Amino acid sequence: MNPNLADFRPSYKTKVNAGVYAIMVFQLVEGATVQDIVDESGLSPATVRKYINAMYNAQALRIIRWDMNTAGRRNVAVYKLEIRSTSNKNAKRPSFTPGERQARYKARLRGAKAQALDTVWKAQARNNEDLTLRPHDRSL
């Protein structure tokens, strides 16, 4: 967090005052996601989205790039403050090529097969351990 903006942090989560606006504008000048603004300002994500959407509809913001979320999809918009510029075009969300889609699918299949084999091996190891612990018991 910028030490100059630390004094503007609100005392409770829902109050939107001039300090919070200063934090949001400071973040948006450099480019920020909704989560970045939430972390800096202390507001809830719904409140930040409401203000971001209002500024976006007023053409004060544009999307400069798409970042990946935790699932590996590019659907986290990075907004930047640009008031009615001539090149107010948003970045397109990149889509996967068919080769990339197939590679991700095969990687998931390999992961599922490896997990299934690991489960089988663990079960066999448990069964073998049980047999070696009680070799005289043949009722298994």
What does the alpha-carbon distance between residue 23 and residue 27 come to, in Å, rounded to a whole number?
6
Question: Got the DSSP string for 57-99?
Answer: HTT-EEEEEEEE-TTS-EEEEEEEE--S-TT-PPPPPP---HH
- Structure tokens given for 35: 């989560």
The DSSP code for 12 is: S
What pLDDT is stored for residue 41 in this prediction?
Answer: 85
**Pairing relation of β-strands 74-81 and 61-68?**
antiparallel
pLDDT-derived band at 122, boundaries 50, 70, 90: confident
What is the average per-residue pLDDT within 35-62?
88
Residue whose C-alpha is closest to residue 76's, from 24, 26, 34: 34
Q: Are 23 and 43 in contact, with CB atoms under 8 Å apart?
A: no
Q: Helices 45-57 and 34-41, interaxial angle, to 10°?
A: 120
Long-range contacts, 49-57 (Cβ 8 Å, 24+): 51/16, 51/24, 52/79, 55/28, 55/81
Residue with tokens 């480019």: 31
Against a cut of 0.95, is the pTM above it?
Answer: no
More confident residue, 87 or 25: 25
Q: Are 1 and 41 in contact, with CB atoms under 8 Å apart?
A: no
pLDDT digits (tens, 9 = 90+) for 53-99: 888 888 888 889 888 888 777 889 999 998 766 666 888 877 777 88
Q: Are 63 and 44 in contact, with CB atoms under 8 Å apart?
A: no
